[in-house]
Structure 1
Amino acid sequence: MLITASELCRDTHYFFSKHIGSILFISIFVTFVSILINMFIKPNMHIISIMENNKFIDANSLLELINNMNLEEKYELLKYSIFKIVELLISKTLLLGSIITLILTVSDSKKVSIIYSIYSFFASLPSFFILNCMTTFLAQLGFIILIIPGILLTILLSLSPIIFSFQKNGFLDSIRLSIQISWKYIKIIAPSVLLWIFSKFTLTTILSHFCLINKNITFLILNISMNILFSILIIYLFRFYIIFLRS
């Protein structure tokens, strides 16, 4: 079966428009979970003011700032960074697990009870979290080397949670299969991932320079929008993998 980007876009649009209420609810729910986690982090305000008042053009400017910090400030920055990474991973895992559970529940020809859906959702979260940690670590290694390897790894690893949700045959196997399939169909996978990255960057840039709205409201709008964009990407990749399995 021939897989085309136009067909995947059509299917993604159809699913999104049909279940927009559920996707919006999930996006808002995950955003509020992020807000709750942020409330418990309680960062050192001095560190946050330093980070916010410095515009980092490149990695050297960030390293220079860190070198100028004392030992206590470095410890606070490290602690805050770890908490933020965990918070982002938890939010991504919740969103990923929720959208995949929604797609599987809707796609199942048999009527699945709400209790079973909730159980399968919570049962899959630990595995998705570990997989997210692994793929995020690999992608960030690519970004540390150069931007291009980071983007390429993000594209190649994008199918791993979808594959894992179907096969449950191990994290490394899911990553390996994702790299193989994504590389073979890179002309179909890459545009969707690149559009998602570009949309995230554009949205963040626009809202961060929009001074008329309160900072908390901007954070809320930005996170909900990001979650919706990521949900659309998941639906697109999920649909691709279903067609790939049938071909």
Structure 2
Amino acid sequence: MIITASEIRSDTYHFFSKQMGAIFFISFFITFVSILTDMFIKPDMHIISVIENKKFINAHSLLDLINNMNLEEKNELLKYSIFKIIELLLSKTLLLGSMITLISNLSNSKKESIISSISSLFTFLPNLFLLNFLTTFLIQLGFMFFIIPGILLSIILSLAPIIFSFKKHNLIESIRFSMSISWKYIKIIGSGVLLWMCNKFIATTILSNIYFINKNIMFLILNMSVNILYSLLIIYLFRFYMIFLRSPNLNII
């Protein structure tokens, strides 16, 4: 069976158009959770005043900014960074889990009830969070050295949550199989991941530079846009893996 990117894009568009309401609801819900997290579970926000003053603007790099801080400010920056990383990982995990549960439920001939779907989602989330942590850590390591390794790792690790959702492999096996499959089909997987990266960069750049709209509304619109774009990528990857599983050439697994 030949897998083509155009076929998967067509399937992705068809699924998105039919389930647009559910996808928008999930994206809005995740954005709402992020806003609540920002509002009520903030660390000591003294660091925000440090970041917003001219030290950040005049710094040539993040290292310059850190070197200009005293010990207390460095501790606050560390707390703030850990908080934001956990918040982003939680949001990504919740979005991933919700979309995978939605697609899986619609793909099965025997559909689960809403209660059983929610129950399976929350059972799935802790391990999915750990998987997201591992893959995000590896990808960020790649970006720390050079841009290209980070992009490459983003591509070859992108299938790991989808593979893991089928509950046939553990965390490490899912990562290993994702690397093997994505490398073999790098043109198909890479085109989807790179398109998502470019669209996310464009949306973030444009929306972040709009100043005539209230910043809270812009935060909502930006997060909604990013979540919808990521949902499209999840659908694309899930559809690819379903076609791959039906392929007679499964010796890679």
Q: TM-score range by the shorter chain?
A: over 0.9
What does 1:121-200 correspond to in 2, within 5 Å?
121-200=121-200
CA distance in 2, matches of 1:171, 1:88: 20
Distance 1:204 1:177, change over 3 A: same
CA contact (8 A) 2:46 2:76 kept: no
CA contact (8 A) 1:182 1:189 kept: yes
CA contact (8 A) 1:23 1:231 kept: yes
CA distance in 2, matches of 1:44, 1:101: 36
Report 1 or 2 for greater relative contact order, CA contacts < 8 Å, sequence distance ≥ 6.
Answer: 1
Please give the root-mean-square deviation of Cα atoms over the aligned residues, in Å: 1.4
Report the secondary structure of 2:210's partner residue: coil
What does 1:229-240 correspond to in 2, within 5 Å?
229-240=229-240
Deviation of 1:55 after TM superposition, in Å, equals 4.5
CA contact (8 A) 2:95 2:231 kept: yes
What does 1:91-130 correspond to in 2, within 5 Å?
91-130=91-130
Deviation of 1:51 after TM superposition, in Å, equals 2.3
CA distance in 1, matches of 2:184, 2:45: 47
Gaps of 5+ in 1: none
CA distance in 2, matches of 1:74, 1:212: 33
Deviation of 1:33 after TM superposition, in Å, equals 0.6
Give the equivalent residue in structure 2 for 1:75: 75
Deviation of 1:201 after TM superposition, in Å, equals 1.0
Deviation of 1:42 after TM superposition, in Å, equals 2.6
CA contact (8 A) 1:160 1:175 kept: yes
Give the equivalent residue in structure 1 for 2:250: none
1:38-88 deviation digits (Å, cap 9, x = unpaired):
11333444422332453588xx61101101100100000000100000000
TM-score by length of 1: 0.96
CA distance in 1, matches of 2:147, 2:49: 27
Gaps of 5+ in 2: 248-253
Deviation of 1:236 after TM superposition, in Å, equals 0.2
TM-score by length of 2: 0.93
CA contact (8 A) 1:56 1:62 kept: no
